[in-house]
Amino acid sequence: MKSRWIGVGLALLGAFGFALAVQSPWWTIGEVTIGPFGTRHCFGGECVERGLAWLGEGASDLWMRSAIATRAAGYIAMFALLALAGGMAAKREPVLVARGVLAAIATAFAVGVYFFIAFPGVGDPALDRGVFMYAAGVGFGTVAAIRLLRSAART
């Protein structure tokens, strides 16, 4: 019984990681935050949300599309992990869902890595919480799915 709840907890931690990562900034430059959601500028107490095009020539069209893909893949992985957690909490062995979770996480990992690596590097950016939450979502979600698949193979 404990083992099942550990798996549910891991899946929920992965889902929370993805959900928070796609809404959180990945880089901060002064008062500007940049993430898969776009950018947010706060100057003089007034905050404005914008897209990623203002980052200049370094922000290729492919990189801006990868931001959208990163956000969508994060949400899809989150929903898949919630389905996995629900199945495990209901005392089921959702093997097909676990395989779908691994596929969703692999896709999220691929587009997230590209979005991170291809960042045009404007100004002096500092890493922000979104990167770490995304990585935590990948890690916790992968462990939850593999844990379920291994336990299902034993029975």
Q: Domain limits of the chain?
A: 2-154
Structure tokens at 35: 């993430």
Write out pLDDT tens, residues 55-100.
766 678 888 899 999 999 999 999 999 999 999 999 999 999 999 9
Tell me the pLDDT of the chain averaged across its residues: 90
Total residues belonging to the chain: 155
Task: State yes or no: pLDDT of 121 exceeds 90.
Answer: no
User: What pLDDT, on the 0 to 100 scale, is given for residue 90?
Assistant: 94
Residue with more model confidence, 115 or 61 = 115
Write out pLDDT tens, residues 13-31.
999 999 999 999 999 988 8
How wide is the angle at C-alpha 18 spanned by C-alphas 72 and 108, nearest 5°? Answer: 50
Q: Are 108 and 72 in contact (CB under 8 A)?
A: no
Task: State yes or no: pLDDT of 53 exceeds 80.
Answer: no
User: Sorting pLDDT into bands at 50, 70 and 90, what band is 132?
Assistant: very high
Tally: H helices and E strands in the chain:
4, 5
User: Sorting pLDDT into bands at 50, 70 and 90, what band is 52?
Assistant: confident
Structure tokens at 83: 């389905």
Q: Are 91 and 146 in contact (CB under 8 A)?
A: no
Sheet holding 27-29, edge to edge: 46-50, 38-43, 32-35, 27-29, 126-127
State the pairing for strand pair 32-35/46-50: unpaired
Task: State yes or no: pLDDT of 7 exceeds 60.
Answer: yes
- 2-154 CATH: 1.20.140.150
Determine the Cα–Cα distance for residues 105 and 113; give it in Å rounded to an integer: 12
